[in-house]
Chains A and B, each alone.
Chain A
Amino acid sequence: NAGVTQTPKFRILKIGQSMTLQCTQDMNHNYMYWYRQDPGMGLKLIYYSVGAGITDKGEVPNGYNVSRSTTEDFPLRLELAAPSQTSVYFCASSYGVPGELFFGEGSRLTVL
């Protein structure tokens, strides 16, 4: 049972490049989330989705985009990468209980 799978685990980008962080879950969860984790700042919600075709902004959406074409997949796209986007990104899913999340292993992104 894979749970929540994120790829890649590590990536280095140059300023201005774009990339997509992939996230897929095999638990048939309707709710999916992208968080970024910065030292001493906890986790900040970037985007979330309550089901296929439905997405909404979280606390820090600027510079990111998402899509949800299927229940399983929730990719996060970074357009025009900036050093401020250097962070660890976590994808999570939920079966609907507010707050109870299942996390992927994270993707460490460095923008130079």
Chain B
Amino acid sequence: AQSVSQHNHHVILSEAASLELGCNYSYGGTVNLFWYVQYPGQHLQLLLKYFSGDPLVKGIKGFEAEFIKSKFSFNLRKPSVQWSDTAEYFCAVGRSGGFKTIFGAGTRLFVKA
């Protein structure tokens, strides 16, 4: 069955630290890859997406993610986090030609000011 694994459930960083959140998926076909963010008390919003082409994609607020096909990974990165990045981050996979989106369990990021 298709699944999405996020490596860390909780991450605590100080402001200006670098961030990398791991995501692996288990599906061998063509997929669309996403990172969603949920700020405290809010709904999920799209952070960035990958469909095809350049495996390094840039999203909003300085986030980027790299698709490594051979590793079935789509890790999220940010060079320098801010207190306002405190949120829960979800990796998600949509199978090309399919209707369902599979989400990882989420990673809660807390950034200390």
Chain A residues engaging chain B, CB cutoff 8 angstroms: 31, 33, 35, 40-43, 45, 48, 50, 56, 58, 90, 92, 97-101, 103-106
Contacts and interface: CB of A to CB of B under 8 A. Distances in A.
Interface residues of B, number: 29
Given A90-B44, A106-B43, A40 B49 contact: no
Chain B at the A interface: SS class: strand
Given A103-B43, A103-B44, A97 B105 contact: no
A100 B105 contact: no
B34 A99 contact: yes
Contact of B94 (A40, A58, A97): A97
A64 B89 CA distance: 27
A92 B67 CA distance: 25
Given A45-B100, A98-B98, A103 B45 contact: yes
Given A90-B43, A99-B33, A100-B46, A40 B101 contact: no
Contacts of B106: 40, 42
Nearest to B95: A98
A68 B33 CA distance: 28
